[in-house]
Amino acid sequence: MFGKKVLGIDVGGSGIKGAPVDISSGRMLTERYRIPTPAGAKPDEMIEVIGQVIKYFNWRGPVGLGFPAAIRDGTVLTAANIHKNWIGVHLPSEIKKLTGNNSSLINDADAAGLAEMNFGAGREKPGTVMVITVGTGLGTALFYNGALVPNTELGHLEMQGKEAEHFASDFIRKKDELDWPTWAGRFNEYLSVLEKLFWPRMIIIGGGVSKKHEKFFQFLNVGAELVPAQLRNEAGIIGAAVWAHHLRV
Ligand code: BGC
């Protein structure tokens, strides 16, 4: 028997993808549906696409949205890899107007982290655990005994005069055509900075690179237990749904 179902949507700088999620098992109930993010990543166009994902599933119930920005009470506070006009947008109100669905909003890395802590690599892990999503940006989620400290935004720490995500993200690896050992050297420096700040017991690596972990894990040298995300790219969708359920939207 299935428990409660929530439509999880992971809103990203390159794609907007969703699937219905069974909250008790943390499983997606169908294949995910993905639409590329409109160029320029402006609010009106992206909101339209989020609406298309909701309509594709003919969804009448709650929606959980993961979003690549700091979020407070449903409002977007920052815009690193999306259009600046996003700042100040209360996305659940816009979705309500467009489709009538109730929804919640959470940072995308926090969503992926929640999924990993509930159903993946961090399940029942006590103490300090960090989840790093490596993609267009660097997303971070911080947990202590399973409780989330939201919006850590540690992809913006300064390293070598740059923001960390302009130094060690997957986008930079591809753009600068860095080979795996070179990129891993940079990423290892980043992890070392995080270790000195938070002393996590476990670091979970998620995002697009998590499925290629055998290409670079051997070059990383950190004190924490280092593991790839188990839910891979689905973590953002699942965690966004978990958050909506938690807030009872
Ligand atoms: C954003 C974060 C986000 C991360 C990964 C960063 O640029 O500031 O909010 O979690 O990218 O998408």
Q: Which atom of ligand 1 is nearest to the CA of 140?
A: 10
Structure tokens, 46: 């992206």
Cα(137) to centroid(ligand 1), Å: 5
Residue 133 vs residues 68, 109, 220: alpha-carbon distances, Å: 11, 6, 16
Question: For atom 8 of ligand 1, which residue has the closest CA?
Answer: 69
> Residue 173: how many CA atoms within 13 Å on its side-chain side?
21
Q: How far is CA 147 from the centre of its chain?
A: 16
Q: Compute the distance from residue 152 Cα to the ligand 1 centre, in Å.
A: 10
- Four-residue CA torsion sign, 73, 78, 80, 83: positive
Mutation test residue for ligand 1: of 114, 133, 163, the one with most atoms within 8 Å of CB: 133
Residue 69 CA: which ligand 1 atom is closest? 9
pLDDT for the residue 2? 44
Distance 2 CA to ligand 1 centre (A): 32
Report phi then psi at 22, rounded to 5: -85, 115
**Which pLDDT does position 233 carry in this prediction?**
83
Q: Which atom of ligand 1 is nearest to the CA of 12?
A: 12
- pLDDT tens track, the chain, 249 positions: 345 999 999 999 889 999 999 999 999 999 999 999 999 999 999 999 999 999 999 999 999 999 999 999 999 999 999 999 999 999 999 999 999 999 999 999 999 999 999 999 999 999 999 999 999 899 999 999 999 999 999 999 999 899 999 999 999 999 999 999 999 999 999 999 999 999 999 999 999 898 899 999 999 999 999 999 999 889 999 999 999 999 999
List the residue whose alpha carbon is closest to atom 6 of ligand 1.
137
Cβ atoms 168, 194 nearer than 8 A: no
What the chain holds in terms of domains, given with CATH numbers, is 5-110+234-247 (3.30.420.40), 124-230 (3.30.420.40)
| Ligand 1 pocket mutation pick from 81, 132, 156 by most atoms within 8 angstroms of CB | 81
pLDDT at 3: 58
Tally of CB atoms within 10 A around 49: 17
Nearest atom, ligand 1, residue 78 CA: 8
- Indicate the DSSP class of residue 210: G
The rounded Å distance from CA 155 to ligand 1 centre is 7
| pLDDT confidence of residue 232 | 86
Distance between CA atoms of residues 1 and 220, nearest Å: 42
Which atom of ligand 1 lies at the shortest distance from residue 108's CA? 10
pTM exceeds cut of 0.95: yes
User: What's the DSSP call for residue 32?
Assistant: -
Beta strand residue intervals within the chain, DSSP E: 5-11, 15-22, 27-28, 33-36, 63-67, 71-72, 75-76, 103-107, 128-134, 138-144, 147-149, 158-159, 162-163, 202-206, 225-228
Q: What CA–CA distance (Å, rounded) separates 201 from 224?
A: 5
Q: List pocket residues of ligand 1, CB cut-off 6 Å.
A: 68-70, 78, 80-81, 107-109, 133, 137, 139, 153, 155, 165
- 215, burial (CB in 10 Å: exposed 0-12, middle 13-18, buried 19+): middle
Q: Whose CA is nearest to atom 5 of ligand 1?
A: 139
Exposure of 192 by Cβ count < 10 A (0-12 exposed, 13-18 middle, 19+ buried)? middle
CA–centroid distance, residue 70 to ligand 1 (Å): 8
Closest-lying ligand 1 atom to the alpha carbon of residue 81:
7
Amino acid at 197: L
Q: What is the pLDDT of residue 1?
A: 37
